[in-house]
């Protein structure tokens, strides 16, 4: 996924740095001490909590470990098993990617559309805004319960309205061909509001003079939006891209509440939790799945960083 | 669990990196922390006579059992002068988190299940030996003692009650329609077909929770292949690709193929299936007694009929009954070991069982000195079912390794409910056997 170029805020950065450098000559020893403590603490936390745990995960992924005692090293067996006999792994990867694609292709553009519409000062604009943003205030665990109340085959609202009760209901949550789409629907419901509010803020910050200039130059509204307004919102676009990727990779709570992420709702995060935290306590095996999640995540991070770094070099 | 620590306002490139790494790496932290803090526990036991505070971890989260536990604790507090703090966790969450709980900061006594599911944790060293408590208990049969004993011959478990899994029906419906409770598989299928023709959904079914279908599998397996085969299959000694196992799935699949099951089982919780039965929307259901009892109004309990799951091979008849035993264990890392043992000793007494069952009459006492005079009809029938059984099994997820039951069997059975052609069954059995070999090859401790 290509990241948009660095923002204008970043363009201003070198100037700030120069100013700071000028001031540094006057820094006292005490200031330097404070600075190094602040940086030092951050580095220690960073190394311990991020690098330490990531490396521990990678090491544990080559072991069989129940949580107590010493882990037994079993080579690449966990990886071999995951790729050959674990029937949940491939679906989990597919579902994570589907989640990313759905949020990226459906929910995010929808959020942008809502933002553009609301930015036109419609009547009751504030009301729509609140209504669309409301789901963001709900945790996914709560959304998960709502999903069950609405879609359960026996006792759900939808089946009651359709008059399909007494074991005759549509099995939205148990049918593995339907439940993932239901989960995506509710995940998007929440994601759309989130994206909308961010884009609303972004749209407000676009200089109206730019739009006027575009119109004077003969651009139609669509051209104005895609050629002028949208590119101007680069900082917001970057944030939304990042949020969408994070939301898709960490998706967990919704499916976990619906059916513990089984039977059509497998996700990498659920497999990790199921194996490590669950009664099974297959910590080595779960760590190996976590390593796959790490690799997927790193893929996005590296792509993003190379884009940014290349641009800074150009500058 | 793997939730990002970020809020949108703090979002920057660096925090993206951090969030990503935390997301992937944080999952191992609890394990490492738990491993680091090992040992040390069990030193805080106070002297005998002084009153003390004891904590009890409980998964009795439904209103009726929760009250029964509290009544039992009230009686203990009155008798001993000690204070008991009950920490109740939702049933399924408690089970899911049990490993972490036992490794971390467990209570002085904890609710659990007998059999392999207990032995597994004893073998891992998470449980304290309670043989000394056992030696002071009376009224427990050898079979109960065996179910409470670890692989090293020591006791790690105090049983409280058990309950029978069986085939349930509604007496009033059967009377009105002139049905007879089935004694054999053929009668069972014929009855279900008749019900279907009469416009009743024949067999209520739920599998969203992952465990309810195990009861039906266990029963078809034990009726067809015998108790010993069940034990060996669960212990990993028999193969899941054995034709005997495939035949079990084949017979089970025939019930689906003939449309005798309540459809959409993978989307239905056991509570919903129990409610369908209570509302007489389904004719039959294979469940544990409390699952039916808790969902049916108490006034209608006398209308619930209970019979053993029908016989398949006459050589086995209905000689095996699934009667899981619930009870308590002492975590190895308990802080107040003496207090925990004192509480367990009381929990093993007939008075404790009487107090519990008075509030939750869906189970049956296991202590022979417990009072059975006040049993309601369902309890009496359930007790009779267990009493006449030659073999008592614990239940699939209690008779085999939890890592196999939780990560393999549940998923396999849910996929079976979804699709069950001969090819599907062959593929599923082959995969279960592959995963079983991999999991069982790794030592427990």
Q: Which residues contact B247 (CB under 8 A, 6 or more apart)?
A: B224
Return the closest-CA partner of residue B46 out of B375, B359, B342, B281.
Answer: B342
Q: Residue A301: its chain B contacts at CB < 8 A?
A: 16-17, 20
Which of the residues A45, A137, A140, A154 would you substitute to probe the B interface, choosing the one with the greatest number of B C-beta atoms within 10 Å? A154
Q: How confident is the model at residue B155 (pLDDT cuts 50, 70, 90)?
A: very high
Residue B365 has pLDDT above 50, yes or no: yes
Residue A304 belongs to some domain of the structure:
no
Residue A22 has pLDDT above 60, yes or no: no
Q: Is residue A93 within 8 Å of A248, Cβ to Cβ?
A: no
Mean pLDDT of A278-297: 90
Domain count for chain B, please give it. Answer: 2
Residue A284 belongs to some domain of the structure:
no
Which of the residues B407, B413, B432, B436 would you substitute to probe the A interface, choosing the one with the greatest number of A C-beta atoms within 10 Å? B407
Query: Which of B350, B378, B394 delimits the end of a domain?
Result: B394
Q: Which domain holds residue B101?
A: 18-162+325-394
Query: Which of B322, B341, B372 delimits the end of a domain?
Result: B322
Residue A266 has pLDDT above 80, yes or no: yes
- CA–CA distance, B320 with A216 (Å, rounded to integer): 87
**Which range is least confidently modeled, A155-159, A308-312, B145-149, B321-325?**
A308-312
- CA–CA distance, B321 with B312 (Å, rounded to integer): 14
The predicted pLDDT at position B27 comes to 39
- Is the CB of B415 less than 8 angstroms away from the CB of A85? no
- Is the CB of B276 less than 8 angstroms away from the CB of A300? no
Q: Is residue A168 within 8 Å of B290, Cβ to Cβ?
A: no
**Claim to verify: residue B248 and residue B370 sit in the same structural domain:** no
Q: What percent of chain B has pLDDT over 90?
A: 71
Average pLDDT, whole number, for chain A? 86
Mean pLDDT of B135-160: 91
Residue A18 has pLDDT above 70, yes or no: no
Nearest chain A alpha carbon to B7? A243
Q: How confident is the model at residue A252 (pLDDT cuts 50, 70, 90)?
A: very high
**Claim to verify: residue B141 and residue B239 sit in the same structural domain:** no
Q: Residue B263: its chain A contacts at CB < 8 A?
A: 167-168, 171
Mean pLDDT of B412-423: 95
Nearest chain A alpha carbon to B100? A277
Tell me the pairing of strands B83-88 and B53-58: parallel
pLDDT, tens digit, for every residue of B342-359? 999 999 999 999 999 999
- CA–CA distance, B113 with B328 (Å, rounded to integer): 7
The predicted pLDDT at position A3 comes to 44
Residue A73 belongs to some domain of the structure:
no
The predicted pLDDT at position A305 comes to 84
**Claim to verify: residue B151 and residue B204 sit in the same structural domain:** no
**Claim to verify: residue B178 and residue B144 sit in the same structural domain:** no
Residue B48 has pLDDT above 80, yes or no: no
Q: Which whole-number Å values give the CA distances from B184 to B13, B128, B139, B191, B282, in the listed order? A: 67, 44, 35, 10, 20
- CA–CA distance, B36 with A56 (Å, rounded to integer): 14
Find the CB nearest B25 among A54, A171, A262: A54
Q: Which residues contact B349 (CB under 8 A, 6 or more apart)?
A: B137, B367
Residue B417 belongs to some domain of the structure:
no
A264 phi and psi angles, rounded to 5 deg: 100, -15
Rg (CA), chain A: 24
**Claim to verify: residue B316 and residue B213 sit in the same structural domain:** yes
DSSP B303-347: GEEEEPPPBSSTTTTT-EEE--EEEEE-BTT-S-HHHHHHHHHHH
Higher-confidence residue of B239 and A315: namely B239
Residue B43 has pLDDT above 70, yes or no: no
- Is the CB of B23 less than 8 angstroms away from the CB of A175? no
Residue B403 belongs to some domain of the structure:
no
Residue A2 belongs to some domain of the structure:
no
Q: Is residue B418 within 8 Å of B266, Cβ to Cβ?
A: yes
Average pLDDT, whole number, for chain B? 87
Paired tokens of A296: 């997927």
Residue B15 has pLDDT above 50, yes or no: no
Mean pLDDT of B92-115: 90
CB atoms within 10 A of CB B378: 23
Residue B409 belongs to some domain of the structure:
no
Residue A193 belongs to some domain of the structure:
yes
Residue B222 belongs to some domain of the structure:
yes
pLDDT, tens digit, for every residue of B310-329? 999 999 999 999 999 999 99
- CA–CA distance, A92 with B105 (Å, rounded to integer): 32
Domain count for chain A, please give it. Answer: 1
Find the CB nearest B16 among A57, A179, A301: A301
Distance in Å from the first CA to the final CA of chain B? 26
The predicted pLDDT at position B388 comes to 87
pLDDT, tens digit, for every residue of A168-213? 788 899 899 999 999 999 999 999 999 999 999 999 888 889 988 9
Domain CATH code at residue A104: 1.10.3720.10
Residue A227 belongs to some domain of the structure:
yes
The predicted pLDDT at position A10 comes to 44
Residue A68 has pLDDT above 90, yes or no: no
- Is the CB of A239 less than 8 angstroms away from the CB of B11? yes
Query: For residue B364, what are the β-bridge partners?
Result: B162
pLDDT, tens digit, for every residue of B265-278? 998 989 999 999 99
Place of tokens 């401790």: B445
Q: Which whole-number Å values give the CA distances from B303 to A76, B168, B169, B293, in the listed order? A: 57, 10, 8, 11
**Claim to verify: residue B63 and residue B27 sit in the same structural domain:** yes
Size of interface A-B (CB pairs under 8 A): 224
**Claim to verify: residue B240 and residue B302 sit in the same structural domain:** yes
**Claim to verify: residue B187 and residue B296 sit in the same structural domain:** yes
- Is the CB of B2 less than 8 angstroms away from the CB of A65? no
pLDDT, tens digit, for every residue of B191-202? 999 999 999 999
Residue B7 belongs to some domain of the structure:
no
- Cα-Cα-Cα-Cα torsion B254, B258, B261, B264, nearest 10 degrees, comes to 100
**Claim to verify: residue B141 and residue B43 sit in the same structural domain:** yes
Mean pLDDT of B183-197: 97
Residue B359 belongs to some domain of the structure:
yes
**Claim to verify: residue B111 and residue B170 sit in the same structural domain:** no
Nearest chain A alpha carbon to B418? A175
DSSP A129-196: HHHHHGGGGS-HHHHHHHHHHHH-TTT-HHHHHTT--TT-S--TTT-TTTHHHHHHHHHHHHHHHHHH
Residue B412 belongs to some domain of the structure:
no
Residue B138 has pLDDT above 50, yes or no: yes
Query: For residue B203, what are the β-bridge partners?
Result: B261, B284
**Claim to verify: residue B66 and residue B136 sit in the same structural domain:** yes
Look up residue B201 and give its DSSP letter: E
Torsional sign, CA A145, B272, B69, B137: negative
Residue A122 belongs to some domain of the structure:
yes
Q: How confident is the model at residue B176 (pLDDT cuts 50, 70, 90)?
A: very high
Mean pLDDT of A225-251: 90
- Is the CB of A252 less than 8 angstroms away from the CB of B32? no
Q: How confident is the model at residue A308 (pLDDT cuts 50, 70, 90)?
A: confident
The predicted pLDDT at position B270 comes to 92
- CA–CA distance, B253 with A141 (Å, rounded to integer): 35
- CA–CA distance, B126 with A66 (Å, rounded to integer): 11
Q: How confident is the model at residue A153 (pLDDT cuts 50, 70, 90)?
A: confident
Domain CATH code at residue B209: 3.40.190.10
Return the closest-CA partner of residue B315 out of B390, B384, B232.
Answer: B390
- CA–CA distance, A145 with B431 (Å, rounded to integer): 33
DSSP-based three-state secondary structure for B285: strand
Contacts 24+ apart (CB under 8 A), A92-97: A92/A266, A92/A267, A92/A268, A92/A270, A92/A271, A92/A289, A93/A268, A93/A292, A93/A296, A95/A180, A95/A265, A95/A266, A95/A267, A96/A248, A96/A249, A96/A251, A96/A267, A96/A268, A96/A296
Q: Which residues contact B5 (CB under 8 A, 6 or more apart)?
A: B18, B19, B22
Q: What percent of chain B has pLDDT over 70?
A: 89
Query: For residue B321, what are the β-bridge partners?
Result: B392
Residue B241: burial class (beta carbons within 10 Å; 0-12, 13-18, 19+) = middle
Residue B14 has pLDDT above 50, yes or no: no
Residue B6 belongs to some domain of the structure:
no
- CA–CA distance, B213 with A153 (Å, rounded to integer): 18
Q: What is the largest CA-CA distance in chain A?
A: 80
Query: Which of B297, B322, B347 delimits the end of a domain?
Result: B322
Q: Is residue A275 within 8 Å of B407, Cβ to Cβ?
A: yes
Q: Which whole-number Å values give the CA distances from B38 to A26, B324, B340, B426, in the listed order? A: 51, 31, 19, 44
Q: Which domain holds residue A211?
A: 89-265
Residue A270 belongs to some domain of the structure:
no
Q: How confident is the model at residue B124 (pLDDT cuts 50, 70, 90)?
A: confident
pLDDT, tens digit, for every residue of A107-148? 999 999 999 999 887 888 889 889 999 999 998 889 999 999
- CA–CA distance, A128 with B384 (Å, rounded to integer): 63
Mean pLDDT of B87-105: 89
**Which range is least confidently modeled, A65-69, A160-164, B438-442?**
A65-69
The predicted pLDDT at position A314 comes to 65
pLDDT, tens digit, for every residue of B220-268? 999 999 999 999 999 999 999 999 999 999 999 999 999 999 998 998 9
Find the CB nearest A301 among B17, B201, B406: B17
Tell me the pairing of strands B165-170 and B304-307: antiparallel
**Claim to verify: residue B357 and residue B305 sit in the same structural domain:** no
The predicted pLDDT at position B67 comes to 95
- Is the CB of A64 less than 8 angstroms away from the CB of B442? yes
């Amino acid at each position: 996924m290509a990241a948009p170029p660095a923002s204008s805020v970043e363009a201003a950065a070198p100037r700030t740095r120069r100013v700071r450098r000028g001031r540094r000559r006057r820094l006292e020893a005490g200031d330097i001490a404070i600075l190094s403590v602040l940086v030092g603490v951050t580095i220690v936390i960073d190394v311990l909590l991020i690098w330490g745990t990531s490396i521990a995960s990678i090491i544990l992924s080559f072991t069989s470990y129940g949580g107590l005692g010493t882990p037994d090293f079993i080579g690449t067996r966990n990886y071999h098993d995951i790729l050959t006999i674990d029937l949940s792994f491939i679906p989990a990867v597919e579902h994570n990617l589907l989640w990313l694609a759905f949020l990226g292709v459906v929910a995010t553009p929808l959020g942008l559309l809502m933002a553009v519409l609301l930015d036109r000062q419609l009547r009751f604009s504030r009301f729509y805004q609140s209504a669309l943003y409301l789901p963001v205030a709900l945790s996914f665990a709560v959304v998960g319960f709502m999903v069950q109340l609405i879609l359960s085959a026996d006792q759900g609202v939808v089946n009651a309205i359709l008059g399909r009760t007494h074991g005759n209901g549509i099995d939205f949550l148990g049918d593995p061909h339907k439940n993932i789409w239901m989960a995506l629907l509710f995940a998007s419901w929440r994601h759309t509001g989130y994206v909308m509010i961010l884009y609303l803020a972004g749209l407000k910050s676009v200089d109206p003079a730019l739009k006027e200039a575009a119109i004077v130059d003969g651009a139609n509204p669509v051209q104005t939006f895609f050629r002028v307004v949208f590119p101007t919102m680069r900082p917001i676009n970057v944030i939304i891209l990042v949020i969408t990727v994070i939301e898709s990779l960490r998706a967990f709570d919704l499916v976990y509440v619906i059916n513990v992420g089984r039977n059509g709702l497998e996700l990498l995060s659920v497999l990790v939790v199921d194996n490590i935290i669950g009664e099974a306590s297959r910590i080595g095996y779960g760590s190996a799945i976590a390593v796959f999640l790490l690799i997927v995540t790193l893929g996005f991070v590296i792509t993003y960083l190379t884009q940014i770094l290349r641009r800074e070099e150009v500058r | 669990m793997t939730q990002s620590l970020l809020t949108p306002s703090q979002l920057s490139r660096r925090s993206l990196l951090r969030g990503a790494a935390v997301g992937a790496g944080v999952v191992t932290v609890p394990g490492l922390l738990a491993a680091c803090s090992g040992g040390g526990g069990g030193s805080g036991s106070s002297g005998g006579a002084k009153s003390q505070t004891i904590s009890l971890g409980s998964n009795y989260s439904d209103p009726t059992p929760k009250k029964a536990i509290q009544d039992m604790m009230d009686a203990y507090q009155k008798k001993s002068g000690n204070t008991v703090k009950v920490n109740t966790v939702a049933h399924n969450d408690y089970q899911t988190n049990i490993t972490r709980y036992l490794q971390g900061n467990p209570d002085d006594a904890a609710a659990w299940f007998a059999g392999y599911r207990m032995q597994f944790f004893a073998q891992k060293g998470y449980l304290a030996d309670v043989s000394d408590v056992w030696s002071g208990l009376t009224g427990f049969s050898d079979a109960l003692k065996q179910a409470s004993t670890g692989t090293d011959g020591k006791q790690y478990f105090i049983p409280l009650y058990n309950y029978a899994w069986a085939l349930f029906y509604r007496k009033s419906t059967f009377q009105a329609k002139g049905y007879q409770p089935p004694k054999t598989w053929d009668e069972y299928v014929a009855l279900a077909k008749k019900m279907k023709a009469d416009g009743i959904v024949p067999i209520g079914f739920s599998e969203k929770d992952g465990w309810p279908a195990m009861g039906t599998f266990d029963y078809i397996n034990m009726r067809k292949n015998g108790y010993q085969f069940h034990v060996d299959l669960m212990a990993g000694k028999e193969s899941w690709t054995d034709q005997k196992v495939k035949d079990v799935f084949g017979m089970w699949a025939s019930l689906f193929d003939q449309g005798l099951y309540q459809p959409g089982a993978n989307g239905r919780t056991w509570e919903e299936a129990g409610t369908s039965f209570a509302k007489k929307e389904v004719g039959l259901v294979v469940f544990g007694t409390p699952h039916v009892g808790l969902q049916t109004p108490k006034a209608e309990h006398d209308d619930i009929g209970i019979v053993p799951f029908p016989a398949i091979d006459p050589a086995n008849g209905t000689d095996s009954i699934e009667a899981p035993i619930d009870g308590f264990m002492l975590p190895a890392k308990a802080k107040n070991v003496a207090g925990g043992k004192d509480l367990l000793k009381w929990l093993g007494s007939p008075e404790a069982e009487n107090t519990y069952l008075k509030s939750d009459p869906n189970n049956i006492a296991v202590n022979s000195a417990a009072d059975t005079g006040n049993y309601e009809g369902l309890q009496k029938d359930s007790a009779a079912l267990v009493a006449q059984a030659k073999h008592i099994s614990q239940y699939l997820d209690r008779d085999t390794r939890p890592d196999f039951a939780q990560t393999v069997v549940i998923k396999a059975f849910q996929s079976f409910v979804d699709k069950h052609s001969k090819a599907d069954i062959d593929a599923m059995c082959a995969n279960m056997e592959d995963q079983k070999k991999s999991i069982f090859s790794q030592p427990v401790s």
